[in-house]
């Protein structure tokens, strides 16, 4: 059942497992922060209740649990806070490729590396709108646009064009997101005024490992942009990349940093590195699925109301693996024909996959953390989701939660 966000949940689960990977969850988690229950000796397990703050060692202890235990806990937390049958379909378009002055070691669009990616000018509004329409027709409810820039800086004409794209796409009833590099408070406000739903700016990895990946801007620069986005009233999409040569403590560090933001990000994308020839990361081994799953499950517990997004690299994992990730709390995918520079599966393939697992696509603004603004909700648009009826079950017994989007905008 989907619980009200402020409710403390007590759920006792029969003890079922054997091998602890390192510390048992009951050592890892102070009982004062969790619901009351007996520990392993008592024959039962507790599931973490919703909380706002975590110590890093607590996140590490969650992460270190036996994998299926962790998945079970994450699946339970997911059901307490989200409709587990709903997956958000997003389409990401590269509106300005290549030629970026930054040195992100994984990125084919950096001008510092010799890759297949070539610098191109900013796309025209009409071209982007055609892509957005195609995405909407195919079931995507969020349209994201990425430009390979360090920052918008003084690109006034280009920025005005992007503002027009945002307005137009929002007018279609879609959630609209951009990722344009570093953002000033004023630029964030202009994007907000144009109707931007969310802004993506990843922390990428832990603070300690960050300098091994990027040297041309700091971790704190990234946090500053995230703060500017948040202050402007735009939803924050921020996550990371696995497979950069980081270790598990860096994955934990990334999740922990997210939990320390003044407000949890509305969206936490988890990317698996797609190693691109010509970048410093070209020789990296692909991350294994168990590490991806462990990261998703831990993020689901620590960020219970955030959308956890399987992003780049999803095509490297089988359908069954992806289904396991959905079970563990992932509830968004990128779909269409491409992400920024890497492949993804098509709308038809993804819709067929979701159908096989009893999952359906979210409507626009269905996420409880992302409230539509009353003034710009197109009337009679079926992609908008504004029901206020209490939860009910559909004919398959899956959840059909219909909380008022407008009434729930913050996490904790």
Q: What is the 3-state secondary structure (H, E, C) of 4-18?
A: CCCCCCCCEEECCCC
Q: Which is nearer to ligand SF4, 102 or 403 (CB)?
A: 102
Alpha-carbon span 79 to 11, nearest angstrom: 12
- The least CB distance from residue 113 to ligand SF4, in Å, is 9
DSSP annotation string for 288-357 = PHHHHHHHHHHHHHHSTTSEEEE-TTGGGS-HHHHHHHHHTT--EEE-SSBSSSSB---HHHHHHHHHHT
Alpha-carbon span 210 to 244, nearest angstrom: 10
User: Count residues contacting ligand SF4 (CB under 6 A)?
Assistant: 8
174 binds ligand SF4 (CB under 6 A): no
Looking at 177, 251, 300, 314, which residue is catalytic?
177
Query: Per CB under 6 A, which region of 99-107, 278-286, 324-332, 398-406 contacts ligand SF4?
Result: 99-107
- The least CB distance from residue 104 to ligand SF4, in Å, is 3
What string marks each residue from 229 to 248 as x (binds ligand SF4 by CB under 6 A) or -? --------------------
User: Considering only residues 69, 102, 350, 403, which one is a binding residue for ligand SF4 as defined by CB under 6 A?
Assistant: 102
148 binds ligand SF4 (CB under 6 A): yes
- The least CB distance from residue 334 to ligand SF4, in Å, is 16
- The least CB distance from residue 311 to ligand SF4, in Å, is 13
Alpha-carbon span 339 to 334, nearest angstrom: 7
- The least CB distance from residue 212 to ligand SF4, in Å, is 14
b/e per residue 81-106 (b: at least 16 CB within 10 A): bbbbbbbbbbbbbbbbbbebebbbbb
92 binds ligand SF4 (CB under 6 A): no
**Is 90 one of the catalytic residues?**
no
Query: Per CB under 6 A, which region of 77-85, 101-109, 132-140, 361-369 contacts ligand SF4?
Result: 101-109
Q: Which is nearer to ligand SF4, 62 or 273 (CB)?
A: 273
Alpha-carbon span 312 to 265, nearest angstrom: 19
- The least CB distance from residue 289 to ligand SF4, in Å, is 24
Quote the DSSP letter at residue 374: G
| Ranges within 264-323 binding ligand SF4 (CB under 6 A) | none
183 binds ligand SF4 (CB under 6 A): no
User: Considering only residues 107, 162, 176, 242, which one is a binding residue for ligand SF4 as defined by CB under 6 A?
Assistant: 107
Q: Using alpha carbons, list the distances in angstroms from residue 13 to 17, 37, 54, 201.
A: 11, 9, 23, 37
- The least CB distance from residue 72 to ligand SF4, in Å, is 35
- 307-310/332-334 β-pairing: parallel
Cβ-Cβ contacts under 8 Å for 398 (sequence gap 6 or more): 84, 85, 358
Quote the DSSP letter at residue 204: B
328, 78 contact by CB (below 8 A):
yes
123 binds ligand SF4 (CB under 6 A): no
Q: Which is nearer to ligand SF4, 181 or 304 (CB)?
A: 181
173 binds ligand SF4 (CB under 6 A): no
Cβ-Cβ contacts under 8 Å for 124 (sequence gap 6 or more): 161
100 binds ligand SF4 (CB under 6 A): yes
DSSP annotation string for 54-77 = --HHHHHHHHTS-HHHHHHHHHHH
Beta bridge partners of 384: 364
110 binds ligand SF4 (CB under 6 A): yes
**Is 19 one of the catalytic residues?**
no
Looking at 50, 90, 104, 369, which residue is catalytic?
104
**Is 107 one of the catalytic residues?**
yes
**Contact footprint for ligand SF4 (CB under 6 A):** 100, 102, 104, 107, 109-110, 148, 181
**Residues catalogued as catalytic:** 100, 104, 107, 144, 177, 237, 309
């Amino acid at each position: 059942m989907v619980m009200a966000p402020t409710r403390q949940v007590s759920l006792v689960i029969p003890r079922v497992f054997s091998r602890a990977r390192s510390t048992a969850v009951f050592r890892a988690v102070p009982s004062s922060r969790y619901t009351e229950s007996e520990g392993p000796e008592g024959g039962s397990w507790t599931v973490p209740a919703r909380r706002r703050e975590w110590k890093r060692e607590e996140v590490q202890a969650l992460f270190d649990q036996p994998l299926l235990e962790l998945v079970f806990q994450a699946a339970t937390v997911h059901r307490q806070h989200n409709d587990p049958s709903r997956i958000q379909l997003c389409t990401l378009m590269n509106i300005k490729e290549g030629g970026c002055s930054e040195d992100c070691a994984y990125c084919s669009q950096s001008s510092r590396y010799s890759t297949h990616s070539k610098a191109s000018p900013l796309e025209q509004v009409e071209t982007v709108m055609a892509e957005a329409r195609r995405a909407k027709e195919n079931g995507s409810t969020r349209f994201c646009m990425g430009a390979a820039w360090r920052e918008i800086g003084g690109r006034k004409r280009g920025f005005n064009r992007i503002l027009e794209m945002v307005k137009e796409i929002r007018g279609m009833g879609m959630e609209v997101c951009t990722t344009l590099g570093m953002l000033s408070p004023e630029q964030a406000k202009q994007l907000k005024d144009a109707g931007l739903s969310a802004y993506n700016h990843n922390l990428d990895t832990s603070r300690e490992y960050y300098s091994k990946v990027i040297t041309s801007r700091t971790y704190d620069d990234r946090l500053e942009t995230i703060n500017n986005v948040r202050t402007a009233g735009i939803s924050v999409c921020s996550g990371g990349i696995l497979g950069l040569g980081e270790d598990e403590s860096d994955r934990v560090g990334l999740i922990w940093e997210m939990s320390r933001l003044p407000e949890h990000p509305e969206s936490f994308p988890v990317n698996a590195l797609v190693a691109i020839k010509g970048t410093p990361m070209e020789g990296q081994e692909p991350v294994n699925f168990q590490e991806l799953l462990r990261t998703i499950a831990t993020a689901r517990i620590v960020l219970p109301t955030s959308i956890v997004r399987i992003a780049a690299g999803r095509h490297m994992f089988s359908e069954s693996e992806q289904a396991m990730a959905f079970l563990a709390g992932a509830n968004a995918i990128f779909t269409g024909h491409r992400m920024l520079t890497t492949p993804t599966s098509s709308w038809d393939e993804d819709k067929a996959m979701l159908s096989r697992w009893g999952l359906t696509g979210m409507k626009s603004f269905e996420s409880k953390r992302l409230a539509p603004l009353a003034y710009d909700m197109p009337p009679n648009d079926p992609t908008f989701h504004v029901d206020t009826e209490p939860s009910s079950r559909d004919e398959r017994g899956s959840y059909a939660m219909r909380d008022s989007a407008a009434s729930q905008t913050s996490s904790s």
